[in-house]
Amino acid sequence: MSLADWKAVFEKWNLLHYQNDDASHDIYHFRRVANNAFHIASNYPEESVDKFVLLAAAYFHDVVNLPKDHPRRKEASKLSAEKAGKILTDLGVSSEKIPGVQHAILTHSFSAKIEPKTIEAKILQDADRIDSFGTVGVLRALYVAGRLGRSLFDTSDPLAHKRPLDDQKFSLDHLETKIMIMPKSLKTDYGKNIAEPRVEIVKTFRDLLAKEILSGKHDSLMQVADTFFEAGKQKKFLFHPEDPFAISRKKNKGLYAMDHLLSIDGLSWMFSSLKDELRHH
């Protein structure tokens, strides 16, 4: 079977069996991770990266997805690797491919703290992390904060100048922690290149939102924060996967958080980054 055939098989499996109301870890996340991974892999010589391993790992890396506040959260990547092995065997994948997929899944997460040894594992880890940056990353983080019932920010000290960062409590602190960790966490130079402008987007969002908070003039960034925070509580989708800006469809605010923002002025820099981030689809 070709890679495209396998992709269709993995898509179908996820659509039929993967049940999760967490829109920050839905099939669209798997597709974006697969796209990021293939984009990174395209910089390596053709035969040096096993694209099948990359594809399978991208589609099943979060197959056991435990919320960030779940007691067994640290085991999620191990459980995903085990489950992915079973699924791939059932789907008829050759047994020699499975350990490579499992290694990539096992090592991809921050919390597992296991070094990725293969090129596929390094690429998957970067591809997954890249989805935490840029406009997609900001929107996912706000969504998760709403979902977990965190606070958006510390009203009196949003940038944590006079207090320690607390990323368990404040969504804006979580973005800050990510910005700090990013440069040393990525494993491939190509991943770093993709991540760089996306980190700038996160910083810009953080700075502009903090400005709005401190000035008391709640403007476009506050609307972004509120909308996606609420979407996390209400378990909406982040945005329409094929047409996020509702160019050839009707807006559906009940389903897609992004649809609330499309008529707000001053967000074009975020939207153009999002367009770029989704371009490889």
Contact 171, 155 (CB under 8 A): no
Cβ proximity to Fe ion, 141 vs 160, nearer residue? 141
Cβ proximity to Fe ion, 128 vs 173, nearer residue? 128
Cβ proximity to Fe ion, 188 vs 210, nearer residue? 188
Contact 150, 142 (CB under 8 A): no
Cβ proximity to Fe ion, 128 vs 154, nearer residue? 128
Q: Which residues, 6+ apart, have CB-to-CB distance to 183 below 8 Å?
A: 192
Only one residue has tokens 């502009």, namely 208
Cβ 154 to Fe ion, closest distance in Å? 28
The whole-angstrom separation of Cα 106 and Cα 94 is 19
Cβ 126 to Fe ion, closest distance in Å? 12
Max Cα-Cα span within the chain: 60
Kindly compute the dihedral angle of the four CA atoms of residues 156, 157, 162, 165, in this order, to the nearest 10 degrees. Answer: 130
Cβ 128 to Fe ion, closest distance in Å? 4
Cβ 108 to Fe ion, closest distance in Å? 7
Which residue minimizes CB distance to Fe ion? Answer: 128
Which residues contact Fe ion by CB under 5 A? 62, 128
Cβ proximity to Fe ion, 136 vs 160, nearer residue? 136
* 93 DSSP assignment: -
Cβ 122 to Fe ion, closest distance in Å? 15
Cβ 194 to Fe ion, closest distance in Å? 16
Q: Within 13 Å of residue 132, how many CA atoms lie on the same side as its CB?
A: 23
Cβ proximity to Fe ion, 26 vs 62, nearer residue? 62
* DSSP-assigned beta bridge partners for residue 256: 237
The whole-angstrom separation of Cα 258 and Cα 275 is 13
Cβ 247 to Fe ion, closest distance in Å? 28
Determine how many CB atoms are found less than 10 A away from the CB of residue 181.
13
The whole-angstrom separation of Cα 116 and Cα 86 is 21
Cβ proximity to Fe ion, 15 vs 247, nearer residue? 15
- 211: nearest Cα among 225, 199, 221, 201: 221
Helices (H), 91-170: 98-107, 119-130, 134-148
